[in-house]
């Protein structure tokens, strides 16, 4: 069995129960760059751990190597885990890996994870929807196979935009959305290293995205829900840890 497992946004206690059980019985784990050390501590101590994080400019080469490694380990071990940050089906190429493995006769089980696209903003006090402010949201990627995702203008009228992998192209993202009619003064924020002790929230406006000091990995949220953080964060501070 090969398991495609979502590691969630970072904190180990945000894993699903099923994910924790699968990690405990794993023989081999192939994990990504965004999987936290805290989550890896839950892996069977006798399991082989293999880091397979991608580097800029080598994504396709590394992805092909990951597929080959999954097939190789799947032929020699009973429980192989492909561990991905967030949810494997949300910009994680999990479906591509699933397809590849099924075509080669492997049995695959998907273990969904909590996507950082929703959990990270919400944990930081930025809900994707709020009655009277935002009736819908879209989750987008700032990076596609050929580089920058320039297809953002079609989402200009969606109340809340949540953009993953948008840190590098933040200036271009703002340029496209403003040109398409979005308010330059609309609030926005980046949440770096969400759900972890290193979390940092940087509030800004759409027109200032390009000059905002932020480091990857970070989730970008654009919309008036960002202003709700002023009201919600004091409440979050008193929540039970």
Cβ–Cβ < 8 Å for 168, 202: no
The one catalytic residue among 1, 54, 89, 159: 54
Find the catalytic residue in 13, 84, 159, 165.
165
Among 1, 13, 27, 32, the one annotated catalytic: 32
> Among this protein's residues, is 84 annotated catalytic?
no
Contact 201, 124 (CB under 8 A): yes
CB 26 within 8 A of CB 81: yes
Please report, to the nearest 10 degrees, the dihedral formed by the alpha carbons of residues 35, 38, 26, 90 taken in order: -30
For 193, left (φ over 0), alpha (ψ -120 to 50), or beta? left
Sequence-separated (6 or more) residues with CB below 8 Å from residue 125: 228, 229, 232, 233, 235, 236
Residues noted as catalytic? 32, 54, 165
């Amino acid at each position: 069995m090969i398991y495609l497992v979502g590691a969630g946004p970072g904190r180990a206690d945000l894993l699903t129960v099923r994910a924790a059980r699968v990690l405990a019985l794993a023989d081999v784990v192939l994990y990504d760059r965004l999987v936290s050390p805290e989550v890896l501590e839950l892996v069977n101590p006798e399991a082989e751990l293999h880091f397979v994080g991608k580097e800029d400019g080598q994504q396709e080469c590394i992805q092909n190597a990951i597929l080959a490694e999954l097939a190789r380990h799947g032929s020699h071990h009973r429980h192989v885990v492909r561990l991905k940050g967030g949810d494997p089906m949300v910009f994680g190429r999990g479906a591509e890996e699933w397809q590849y493995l099924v075509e080669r006769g492997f049995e695959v089980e998907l273990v969904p994870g909590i996507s950082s696209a929703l959990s990270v903003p919400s944990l930081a006090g930025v809900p994707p929807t709020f009655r009277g402010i935002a009736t819908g949201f879209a989750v987008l990627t700032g990076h596609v196979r050929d580089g920058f995702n320039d297809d953002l203008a079609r989402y200009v009228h969606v109340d809340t935009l949540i953009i993953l992998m948008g840190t590098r192209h933040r200036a271009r993202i703002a340029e496209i959305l403003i040109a398409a009619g979005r308010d330059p003064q609309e609030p926005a924020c980046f949440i770096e290293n969400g759900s972890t002790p290193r979390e940092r929230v940087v509030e800004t406006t759409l027109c200032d995205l390009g000059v905002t000091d932020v480091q990857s990995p970070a989730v970008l949220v654009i919309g008036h829900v960002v202003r709700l953080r002023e009201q919600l964060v004091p409440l979050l501070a008193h929540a039970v840890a």
